[in-house]
């Protein structure tokens, strides 16, 4: 099956960029992308029907959709788009439900695209992130930047918390980190630069709100920067690290 990926804000099908003009892919394809929104809903906004929302993760805002879709249509940023008209109509008329399988993204700073969700896709890396959290949750954190807590870790430490034979567990962690090479270095208001593999998921911690938990691997010194903590870079040295941050109680969505 074809796969749609967003690289530098441009959708790619099977590794090839979609042409820079309105386009529709009528075949079924796998889509994994974070839905973006901003406070004023001008730079970015999104909409998903009731059935399409079953393919979203549990992030309270800017969720990731993992799904098989068809009728994927897109328009480059900055152009007039009927996708935006449809999305804003759905947003402003919640009592008139749109197609329940529609998911759409639009805004001045993002590509305009819409698709019909055929079925959700499983998350191949959730168990690895849950295992990473289980491996460090009872240990004292080693570094901190505001609410961002960091622990040192290793592939073996995480693998021991997976319900798999040792060799299979080790390979599962390595595959997850390899997939993380294609991920963005942004995690809410923190940027990891540079990184060699980054996983991030919303995990239900033993609190009354969910916890954002991640795993980052770096081969050389990595800096964690945040506009909330200017002039206070958090330094990570080569190796594997687990980090966690309570999700905001109020988000942009």
Give yes or no for residue 251 having a pLDDT over 50: no
Q: How big is the CA angle at 29 (ends 53 and 177), to the nearest 5 degrees?
A: 80
Phi-psi region of 47 (alpha: psi -120 to 50; beta: other; left: phi over 0): beta
Q: Are 14 and 68 in contact (CB under 8 A)?
A: no
**What is the spatial distance between Cα 66 and Cα 70, in angstroms, rounded to a whole number?**
13
Task: List the alpha helices (DSSP H) in 15-165.
Answer: 82-92, 126-136, 155-159
Q: Structure pTM? A: 0.74
Cis ω for the linkage preceding 194 (within 30 of 0):
yes
Q: Name the CA radius of gyration of the chain, rounded.
A: 19
Length of the chain measured in residues: 253
Reduced to 3 states, what is the DSSP secondary structure of residue 187? strand
As a whole number of angstroms, the distance between CA 112 and CA 214 comes to 29
Least confident range from 115-119, 149-153, 222-226, 245-249: namely 245-249
Reported as a single tens digit per residue, the pLDDT across 92-106 is 776 666 678 999 998
Nearest alpha carbon to residue 252 among 9, 27, 46: 46
pLDDT in tens, 123-177: 889 899 999 999 999 999 999 988 899 999 999 999 999 999 999 999 999 999 9
More confident residue, 219 or 207: 219
Predicted pLDDT at 175:
92
Structure tokens given for 188 = 């809410």
């Amino acid at each position: 099956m074809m796969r749609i990926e967003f690289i530098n804000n441009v959708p790619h099908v099977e590794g090839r960029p979609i042409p820079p003009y309105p386009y529709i892919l009528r075949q079924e394809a796998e889509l994994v992308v974070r839905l973006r929104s901003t406070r004023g809903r001008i730079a970015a906004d999104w909409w998903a029907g009731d059935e399409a929302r079953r393919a979203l993760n549990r992030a309270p805002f800017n969720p990731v959709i993992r799904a098989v879709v068809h009728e994927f249509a897109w328009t480059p940023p900055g152009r007039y788009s009927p996708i935006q008209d449809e999305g804003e109509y759905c947003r402003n008329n919640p009592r008139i439900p749109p197609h329940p399988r529609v998911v759409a993204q639009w805004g001045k700073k993002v590509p305009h695209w819409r698709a019909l969700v055929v079925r959700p896709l499983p998350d191949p890396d959730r168990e690895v992130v849950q295992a990473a959290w289980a491996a460090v949750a009872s240990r004292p954190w080693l570094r901190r930047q505001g609410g961002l807590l960091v622990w040192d870790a290793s592939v073996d430490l995480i693998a021991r918390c997976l319900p798999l034979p040792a060799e299979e567990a080790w390979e599962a962690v390595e595959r997850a980190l390899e997939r993380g090479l294609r991920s963005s270095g942004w995690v809410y208001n923190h940027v990891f630069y540079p990184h060699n593999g980054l996983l991030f998921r919303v995990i239900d911690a033993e609190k009354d709100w969910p916890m954002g938990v991640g795993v980052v691997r770096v081969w050389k010194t990595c800096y964690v920067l945040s506009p909330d903590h200017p002039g206070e870079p958090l330094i990570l040295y080569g190796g594997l690290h687990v980090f966690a941050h309570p999700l905001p109680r109020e988000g942009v969505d």
